[in-house]
Structure 1
């Protein structure tokens, strides 16, 4: 009975377009009121969900991202990418794909990277007569890589939810993220050849070196995070604090693009983003606790294992479930709800927890680019003015590339575990 109320209310509110944090909270409260659960559990579960040291990494990385968004870092990364690929046909498209890889290692947010890339690159691509749908699709897809390449907020949430090593997850995300970015680069090249998109100048060692020096402090950020966490110098949470301070020093005193008057807006943006994510985390934790209390995860696990004992088929079924869920839920709540259910199933098939973390995140990254709730897709559509239906068609080749890499990650463990074993 409780499960029917929980899922029924969830589906109705989701269809009505209620924000996901409120969907999870209201459906949980409705189920508790209709059952014998004491209402005091509500506040206890909401508080306990956020009373986590590793989760403190999220507001710190949000602050670092907000500082970097105001600090001229995006422009310097784009200039560096242009200095490398400027002499290739369709250079601006290649800049988007290359910058997506570089920026993914800085902000940790696919949506933030899409907004940053789109605001700079879409107008430039329009000036040079690039197809508007292709430009918007490339920006949305390349920006979404930020969910895979460290420091990924989604990987932090998965690590905390499943008690997996965040450092290992960060390292494991590098190869899949780069492979996806390279796939976008290759596809962009063939489109540019077919459409005869222009080059953007000659490439010279001097130009590359000059732009690299300008972007060096920004490019050092992911190295600091990965080496520091992986080397045991600091935790992911401490890394967030270090990178926030580092970003402020670089933006204010080296690039000199942040003034004291900018700080209130920077802190407000970071606080707003943190509040949204924290609300979702707390509500998801309550929803997940109710599921566990009713032993629904165990029932789902038993059902999946009873379908077939073929590990390949089971992994394909899990991927299909995640792809469908990603179309309706953002990565944070989807991970917190499904990781406790699906990770044990994957573990019973011999899948490494770190490998499965990347399987989940890549699936949910594809969800950023699919209707009806594809956040990166909507951001790119708003920036470019391309309608959602047209943009969805232009995104098809990018979905194919990401699914191809997803299959590699699913069935070739070494892609994610080669540096973590």
Structure 2
């Protein structure tokens, strides 16, 4: 009965179209009634307790920093710089799109913000240079999820809080997977551009590079300050998020003069609305997670899996399938808060490193963001660029295959994620 309440009931409520936080609260209250072992005020305590986290403060701050960078001209200068460096290779504009998204991800960690910022700036040029509308939008859609994998990543922060792991260690573990994704996508774009006969851009010239570097100097310094401070132990990820906000605001308003103080205030208000929506889900998921732990459902699942005598490789395959399906209908933060209390004990029982497992969860949910038919980035691209969803479904398939191959490598070769930790541990 407990498995039905905590498993089937949330799915049924989602299918009815209830908001995620309402679904979580309904499941929590009904589960509490079924257990009958705790007063209803425990839900209130669990909800507010889940928000009482210093690390969680990084989420709204990184969202705000990413929004300021997107609207403040920093993203445009990054694209100009990357394009000046890779202009002479086949598919240079596509590679510049991937490189810019990767750098943007090292500053913001917000996938939808990356799709909007990088996509609006690169889509017209991609179409003019023969990439085609569908391929261009599909590239932007698939590239945007690099921000979920490359640190600082908002889903990684959420996972660290839910699984009680180190945010900094997760960031270290995400470096190689993020670069691996970017390099694989760039290789595919170059091969496709050669096959499509897309001419290479102008070869790199020192004068152009010097001019682009001068314009993007402050923009490129942002990830160096943020990540260098985190990995160097100068400040925590949460403090880095606050520094990123201040840095982006000062550069956009005082240096580039692309934003006014009034526009900056409006960006902050818009961000506050989005953060409010996220925190409601976090609070509801905190109560749901507390009740799952109290009910003993994770222990029951561990015993059930142990009874199946499932080898580790098969267990990981099953978990990957579950995460991909859930990630295609829920945003990564909500999916992490929903599934971490259930999956983390199973992973620990199987002897998996919790940091490695966190990267497996993160990459799965990143792929889910553009997995047809319900991936969030698909709908974001459809709304932003007007590309019909059936065309997007076909266009993202090659990128989906590449991501799944990388997911397999990350899942079954733990050294990809754990080797960088030797520099920190």
2:276 is aligned to 275
2:338 is aligned to 337
2:305 & 2:217 partners in 1: Cα distance? 48
Number of aligned residue pairs: give it.
421
**Cα offset, 1:239, TM superposition:** 1.2
Mean Cα displacement is larger for which, 228-237 or 343-352?
Answer: 343-352
Deviations 1:266-300 (A, max 9, x none): 11122122112111111111111222222112222
**Runs of 5+ unmatched residues, structure 1:** none
Deviations 1:105-148 (A, max 9, x none): 11111111111122112222233342221111100111110001
**Cα offset, 1:232, TM superposition:** 2.0
Mean Cα displacement is larger for which, 40-49 or 210-219?
Answer: 210-219
1:74 aligns with 2:79: no
SS in structure 2 of the partner of residue 107 of structure 1: coil
Indicate if the aligned counterparts of 2:67 and 2:113 stay in contact, CA closer than 8 A: no
**Runs of 5+ unmatched residues, structure 2:** none
1:367 is aligned to 368
TM-score, normalised to structure 1, is: 0.94
TM-score, normalised to structure 2, is: 0.93
1:328 aligns with 2:302: no
1:86 aligns with 2:93: no
Mean Cα displacement is larger for which, 11-20 or 403-412?
Answer: 11-20
**Cα offset, 1:183, TM superposition:** 1.0
1:127 & 1:62 partners in 2: Cα distance? 31
Deviations 1:1-24 (A, max 9, x none): 455345444222211333322322
Indicate if the aligned counterparts of 1:150 and 1:222 stay in contact, CA closer than 8 A: no
Indicate if the aligned counterparts of 1:25 and 1:287 stay in contact, CA closer than 8 A: yes
Mean Cα displacement is larger for which, 89-98 or 131-140?
Answer: 89-98
Aligned pairs (5 A) from 1:18-33: 18-32=18-32
Indicate if the aligned counterparts of 2:70 and 2:117 stay in contact, CA closer than 8 A: yes
Indicate if the aligned counterparts of 1:100 and 1:143 stay in contact, CA closer than 8 A: yes
SS in structure 2 of the partner of residue 420 of structure 1: helix
1:191 & 1:98 partners in 2: Cα distance? 17
2:240 & 2:105 partners in 1: Cα distance? 16
1:174 is aligned to 175
Indicate if the aligned counterparts of 1:171 and 1:226 stay in contact, CA closer than 8 A: no
Indicate if the aligned counterparts of 1:90 and 1:193 stay in contact, CA closer than 8 A: yes
SS in structure 2 of the partner of residue 173 of structure 1: helix
1:303 & 1:205 partners in 2: Cα distance? 63
Aligned pairs (5 A) from 1:183-202: 183-202=184-203
Are the structure 2 counterparts of residues 414 and 209 from structure 1 closer, same or farther at C-alpha, using a change threshold of 3 Å? farther
Indicate if the aligned counterparts of 1:326 and 1:368 stay in contact, CA closer than 8 A: yes
1:364 & 1:54 partners in 2: Cα distance? 21
**Cα offset, 1:306, TM superposition:** 2.8
1:310 & 1:7 partners in 2: Cα distance? 24
**Cα offset, 1:94, TM superposition:** 1.6
